[in-house]
Amino acid sequence: MAELNADFRGYRSPLSTRYASKEMQYLFSDQHKFSTWRKLWILLAKAEKSLGLDITDEQIREMESHIEDIDFKAAAAEEALTRHDVMAHVHVFAKQCPLAAPIIHLGATSCFVGDNTDLLILKEALEQLLPKLVGVVKQLAQFAMQYRDLPTLGFTHLQPAQLTTVGKRCSLWIQDLLMDERALRACRDNLRFRGVKGTTGTQASFLQLFAGDSAKVRQLDQTVTKLAGFERYYAVTGQTYSRKVDLEIVSALASLGATVHKMCSDLRLLASRKELEEPFEQTQIGSSAMPYKRNPMRSERCCALARHLITLQANAANTLAVQWLERTLDDSANRRLTLSEAFLSADACLLTLLNISQGLVVYPKVIERNIAQELPFMSTENVIMAMVKAGGDRQVCHEKIRVLSHEAGAQVKQHGKDNDLVERIRADPYFAPILGQLGSILDPKTFTGRAADQVVEFVNEEVNPIVALYGDKVVTKSAQLNI
């Protein structure tokens, strides 16, 4: 029995067992990391060979034949002896490639594989996130258009305010997400390669390899960068690329987390009012004790993960702040946690949000009922203006409305009854000249201004161009939500 349960006797991250996609998990896996190290050693050897170093095609082919078959047990044993992860993998790779052993890692420092691998992973992770983010935007835009003219109570200070529309409120969420897309796309587009810089970033070891030929060292840097799929490298580095790069990316992810938390908090508030709900599966259980409940667990999950994501920005900022001179190693353990968890958390948020955005349910009758409780108060200024146009005195009308409003308010607050202000207006002979207009005065659609037009303009001018930018890469369907 103990053997059967061995997998459950150690810590496992919920991000890998419950939340994040398999694709994003693979990016931060040991297999991907260490096979990328081997690919970088091969790229370095190819570039060095092309510039005249004594490296053979046979050595390169030998390395290429062992990119994926990593002996993790042997690497762990080596690291236990050397206390150095890169050298452990150099030794293991060299044993698998005896012909190439002399030229593996030639002229490089640990950060050649470590930092360059991280940059490759960051680039691919951003490439994975962006189509999911735009997929959420696309789904929400369709929702916003569908409900662009459905009036609903607006809220300021969490108190009923002037009416807006369901679609207009959704457009506010989309606008924040578009800002996140812009920030993450900028991170991706601005990302560069560390390249081959040597132990403190001076390229001294490579200058020695090429007998002082500075032009060849520069060409080596450019060639490896191109082979790795980057257009540019950082012109200057210490031993590492600046941890400011990590901070910019994690900050953008944390900002996405804030957006997700705000949106999903709104959804939870609206669910409590029974105006709008996230998807709820036929066999889903809302509560172990209260069978009737339909808890917004997806939105709650997003808020929980988003809070964790938001906190990671401080880790990245502090890591940058304490990188003394050309580098210190107190970034290593922190970055192993921060970078992976930032992307895995963001990925999990977007997967869940995509699921939510595909199945939002609106309850117009509930919204209508809630409007009916507040609209009479909001319409008082319109009633006054209509009476003035009919020949009434504004001050007299204002006092009449004030008294009737307080009476109706007392019915609501003290007696728990419905708002009867309209009935009180109808029953007062003073308002006889405008009774025929009350229906139009109280039409909720006359209180939403240009909300519907704003949604159409926003989607056409700002949303659709971004969706088109991603073409068929946009992720519009999510797999079944994990546990």
Is 261 a residue of the active site? no
Q: Is 405 a catalytic residue?
A: no
* DSSP assignments along 398-443, one per residue: HHHHHHHHHHHHHHHHTT-PPP-HHHHHHH-GGGGGGGGGHHHHT-
Kindly state the DSSP code that residue 235 receives in the 8-state scheme: S
46: its two tokens: 């190819």
Closest CA to 101 of 59, 71, 42: 59
Q: Compute φ and ψ for 287, nearest 5 degrees.
A: -155, 140
* 232 residue type, one letter: R
Q: In 176-316, at which residue ranges do the beta strands (DSSP E only) sit?
A: 276-277
Write the CA distances from 318 to 245, 250, 314, 328, 341, integer angstroms: 13, 12, 6, 13, 16
DSSP letter at 471?
G
Interacting residues of 52 by C-beta distance below 8 A, sequence separation 6+: 210, 216
Tell me the C-alpha to C-alpha distance, in Å, between residue 144 and each of 40, 90, 133, 162. 46, 55, 16, 19
Contact 247, 317 (CB under 8 A): yes
The alpha carbons of the chain give a radius of gyration, in whole angstroms, of 31
Distance CA 164, CA 155 (A): 9
Selecting among 50, 65, 214, 287, the annotated active-site residue is 287
Kindly state the DSSP code that residue 48 receives in the 8-state scheme: H
DSSP class of 193 = B
The partner residues of 361 in beta bridges, in order of sequence, read 277
- CB count within 10 Å of CB 124 equals 19
Q: Quick check: 83 and 332 in contact, CB under 8 A?
A: no
CA–CA distance, 275 with 268 (Å, rounded to integer):
10
Residues 457-475: b if buried by 16+ CB within 10 A, e if exposed? ebbeeebeebbeebeeebb
Cα–Cα distance for residue pair 422/382, rounded to 1 Å: 13
Which residues are the active-site residues? 157, 287
